[in-house]
Structure 1
Amino acid sequence: TIILVSYLDSQLHTPMYFFLSNLSFLDLCYATSIIPQMLVNLWGPTKSITYGGCVLQFFFALDFGATECLLLAVMAYDRYAAVCQPLHYAVIMHPQLCQNMVLTAWLGGLGSALMLCSLTLRLPRCGHREVDNFFCEMPALLKMACVYSKVMEVMVFALGVILLLVPLSLILISYAIITQAVVRIKSTAKWHKILNTCGSHLMVVTFFYGTIIYMYMKPQNSISQDEGKFFTFFYTIVTPTLNPLIYTLRNKDVKSAVKRILYVEKR
């Protein structure tokens, strides 16, 4: 719905809704790569997945998760430009730059997924065939390996810094500057509008980064299996499901656009 409304309503042809449409599509892909097989295993008599299906699920979950990390940082920069550089916003966030930033996020996620997936699948399994999780995720697959890989540990940590800590730091810096700018605004109406827009994004960032950093930046042997499943469920399924609700229920522009589109169709 967000993608269609952003495309059909000309008033939403702005960088913010371009990024939001990409996030909506990304979350749709992210959830689709996990939920169907999970439901089949929950409702079916056998809890199984083919090796090829496990590899594909592992790769796409990594790809979409890494892309979302980068895309949320891009959206934070957009909010910074809108709030702190309003007069130059159209010049700063021109369409070509927006497309390049989104493309960089998608390619960054794809590159990191290819590296981690290839390294993880090369590890010997020693006959283990049971993934103790509701989908094929890297921590669960690493625990199946019968050898310790220092290279794998270094790669996971390095990509964790690049894909998690660096984007999160940029987001926090952006919002620190935004907070300083908001404090100086005297208009209450404009102040509330900025808080609603930025608050939605900050809520998504808190849910997503908080759980995924706990899973990937903490030593795997210090996380229990049940604890790992809970946090994994939160950032792979709960957060992508809540994202559209967080962004639309608090957004008057989207509500107005839906009403305009429905009114035109009725006429």
Structure 2
Amino acid sequence: MNNRFVLCMLTWLVAVHLDVSAEDLPHNSPSQSLDDLYQVECEGTYSHHLQGICAESSAIYWSFTTTLVKTDLNGKVIKKVPVANHHGDLCVHEGKLFVAVNLGEFNHPEGNADSWIYVYDTDDLVELEKHPCDEVFYGAGGVGFRDGRFYVVGGLPDQMSENYVYEYDANFQFIKKHVIESGHTHLGIQTAAFAHGRWWFGCYGSPAILLVTDPDFQVLGRYETNCSLGIASLGDGRLLVGNGHCTKASGCIGGARAAKPNERTGFLLQERYSEVKK
């Protein structure tokens, strides 16, 4: 009995046991490009939980509150650096990584935040510059990019019933404060991404909330689904949604799954590798 026959038999037996076809088996098939990315686990464990993700053609960037990480599309660490607490959600644009940072207090009714955007080189994660965002009154927690402008989101006190998005130009000069008539979301908005003609905002809560708006921040949907640990565009009509958890014994881990926008639920996670090409 040769090795090839044994391998074929094992594949068939696993497929029968799981009630899936053989083409569905390679759930962790190596991703050569974002177009065939299905799921990825970030290598390593970290002291604090995942705050956000973003991706480009050959890399994924992860913010673990006090550590920035760059991996390849299969989650293998290329570079990681310690950073100030609290680094939040992030976005990538023209070779630079932009991260929302609050060095003060989140969600305080009288402010007390110390909001910034820190900028890093995507090659080596060296800090390049930082910009104050004093307008982000309750603490900068996330940042997205659209049409030459940056949009910063953040915390929210308990009594507030709307969320805010702060618009900046390419040099981080303040332009405008936008209001999202969203109703209250726990601690505001954690993650932000502009993808496929819409804004996607991830919020904490039990259940966690996804807000979807049009480009002008008019609410299109409020969904009980979780992308509060990261959401990004895959550029082919899909989304990349962050996940993770922490334990006292081993620390925090993070990962991401591909998803497809869905009018009824906000998005649907892709359940099998074979769905990537469908």
Question: Comparing both chains, which one has the higher relative contact order based on Cα–Cα distances under 8 Å and sequence gaps of 6 or more?
Answer: 1
Q: Which has the higher strand share?
A: 2
Q: TM (normalized to structure 2)?
A: 0.27
Q: Which has the higher helix share?
A: 1
Q: TM (normalized to structure 1)?
A: 0.28
